[in-house]
């Protein structure tokens, strides 16, 4: 009986030691975030003393709000949107980025070849789609400046992301925007790949950090050990996904049986250029370059007409990054 009591106490202690973390994605369950499900199923979070719940998201603004309300402890959100948020909310910090997922925002604008649009230079007078929580309207002034056209020369139509492809195919808009994987959604509706025009923001010199891992200030201050463990598991699983996307997506399939596994592997590979940049190959995942981040801050503040400029230390906290050797890419 005595040994049984000791055994039960040990089990109880182990259960109590698991720190519960709720993490909101930037969007729905898709291939590029499959590594987080892999981290759960393979026990990477558990090894760090964490019990992580992963939920679908509604964009960066949604992630910010969820963390601020205290319902979520962490999430994925866009760095430029974070710059804007901190500029408009200069009070006490609510959250910080602790790890960069996309060293280059994998974003682009898309048109059908039959529209005659071939580059951003062709945008004036055209109708562009935007979602209520998307990046397109916000990044547009920066892209227009890079292309040397009037940012006020286009028309906007706002709708749910679920209607984005439909609006383009129906002719309600001539240009849509999103991650580099958007052509997958168009091809699923019968559009041939060669009939899609992709205009990546990176081709116009917009080399911005994209989505990052955000953590609430409450968790950072109250349980830094849990934050460090979260980042280690995040980094570990992300490296594995980049080396073998197909295996990673199998864990997404376990989490959400209705997903098309083959399709999500393709989607993941389409956005991976935003993670596998030359900078990442040489310096490793997760970190920021101060000079580059400052340029992003300066340009976002100017383009959005913001009145204050957040400092880098409010945006990004490097304290929890694993050693550089552990952030280098894994050779497949």
Write down the domain spans for the chain: 18-104+208-327, 107-204
pLDDT at 136: 80
Question: Is pLDDT at 13 greater than 50 in this prediction?
Answer: no
How many Cα atoms occupy the beta-carbon half-sphere of 284 within 13 Å? 13
Separation in Å, CA 247 to CA 9, 30, 108, 275, 284 = 37, 14, 27, 18, 22
Fold classified for 107-204: D-Maltodextrin-Binding Protein; domain 2 (3.40.190)
Q: Any residues with CB less than 8 A from the CB of 307 and at least 6 apart, and which?
A: 87
- Does 18-104+208-327 match 107-204 in CATH topology? yes
Rounded average pLDDT over 76-95: 94
> Please, which pLDDT band fits residue 74 given cuts at 50, 70 and 90?
very high
Of 12-21, 72-81, 236-245, 272-281, the range with the lowest mean pLDDT is 12-21
Segment 263-274 mean pLDDT: 97
What is the reported pLDDT for 150? 95
DSSP for 143-178 reads: HHHHHTS-TTSSEEEE--GGGHHHHHHHTS-SBEEE
**Class of the domain covering 18-104+208-327:** alpha beta
Contacts of 11 (CB under 8 A, 6+ apart): none
More confident residue, 159 or 248: 248
Q: Is residue 110 within 8 Å of 186, Cβ to Cβ?
A: yes
Express as a percent the part of the chain with pLDDT over 70: 94
User: Where residue 50 falls among pLDDT bands split at 50, 70, 90?
Assistant: very high
pLDDT of 310 > 60? The answer is yes
Per-residue model confidence (pLDDT) at position 4: 52
Say how far apart CA 11 and CA 319 lie, in whole Å. 32
Alpha-carbon distance of 235 to 255, in angstroms, equals 20
Give the mean pLDDT of 202-227.
96
Phi and psi dihedrals of 312, rounded to 5? -60, -35
What does pLDDT average to over the chain? Answer: 93
């Amino acid at each position: 009986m005595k040994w049984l009591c000791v055994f039960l106490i040990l089990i109880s202690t182990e259960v109590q030691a698991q720190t519960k973390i709720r993490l909101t994605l930037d969007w729905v369950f898709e291939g590029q975030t499959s590594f987080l499900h892999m981290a759960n199923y393979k026990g990477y979070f558990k090894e760090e003393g964490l019990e992580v719940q992963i939920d679908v998201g509604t964009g960066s603004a949604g992630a910010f709000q969820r963390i601020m309300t205290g319902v979520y402890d962490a999430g994925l959100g866009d760095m430029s949107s974070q710059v804007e948020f901190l500029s408009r909310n200069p009070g006490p910090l609510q959250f910080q980025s602790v790890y960069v997922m996309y060293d280059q925002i994998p974003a682009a604008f898309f048109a059908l070849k039959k529209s005659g649009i071939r580059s951003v230079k062709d945008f004036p007078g055209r109708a562009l789609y935007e979602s209520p929580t998307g990046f397109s309207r916000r990044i547009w002034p920066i892209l227009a400046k890079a292309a040397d056209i009037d940012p006020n020369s286009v028309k906007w139509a706002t709708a749910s992301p679920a209607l984005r492809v439909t609006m383009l195919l129906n002719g309600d808009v001539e240009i849509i925007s999103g991650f580099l994987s958007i052509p997958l959604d168009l091809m699923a509706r019968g559009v041939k790949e060669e009939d899609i025009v992709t205009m990546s923001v990176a081709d116009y010199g917009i080399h911005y950090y994209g989505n990052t891992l955000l953590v609430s200030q409450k968790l950072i201050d109250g349980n830094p050990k849990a934050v460090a463990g979260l980042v280690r598991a995040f980094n570990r699983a992300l490296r594995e996904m980049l080396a073998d996307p197909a295996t990673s997506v199998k864990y997404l399939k376990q989490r959400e049986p209705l997903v098309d596994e083959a399709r999500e592997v393709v989607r993941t590979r389409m956005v991976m250029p935003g993670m596998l940049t030359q900078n990442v190959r040489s310096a490793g995942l997760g970190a920021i370059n101060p000079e580059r981040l400052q340029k992003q801050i300066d340009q976002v503040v100017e383009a959005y007409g913001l009145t204050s400029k957040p400092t880098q230390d409010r945006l990004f906290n490097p304290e929890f990054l694993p050693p550089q050797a552990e952030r280098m890419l894994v050779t497949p």
